[in-house]
Amino acid sequence: MAGIGLTLMSRIYRTDDRRFATRFNFGDHLALGFDFGAQREHDLALRLEHFSNGGIKHPNPARTSFRSATACASSERGTGLSGLSQPAQQAFREHHAQAGRRHPP
């Protein structure tokens, strides 16, 4: 999955070493997901994100991040979803429901 979109942050992004000049930014996203295991009960998701204001105002330090997540739907070993955020857990359940597989409640 890939996407490009507009982002309006609730406040200007600041860290000790970075500061965006605007609350308005562009976001580029690339995500890949894989199911594996004997019953396809395991998921691995990889996501690359890039945020930038496109140079419309300076400073524009841009921010690129890479994230990964894993999950297991095996009832014998528990759901394996507790380490994921609520949106990630919901996405995992929806993905498994669409694929017609058993998934944790």
Count of structural domains, the chain: 1
Does residue 93 fall inside a structural domain? Answer: no
> Does the residue 104 lie in any domain?
no
Whether 51 is in a domain gets the answer: yes
**Residue 43 is assigned to a structural domain of this protein:** yes
pTM of full prediction above 0.85: no
Residue indicated by tokens 């594996």? 36
Residue 62: per-residue pLDDT? 84
* Assigned domain for 86 exists: no
Domain range for 31 is 2-71
The residues, ordered by sequence, that sit 6+ positions from 22 with a Cβ below 8 Å of its Cβ are 12, 53, 56, 57
How high is the mean pLDDT in each 10-residue block of the chain (105 residues)?
80 81 87 82 87 87 86 56 64 64 47
Domain contains 92: no
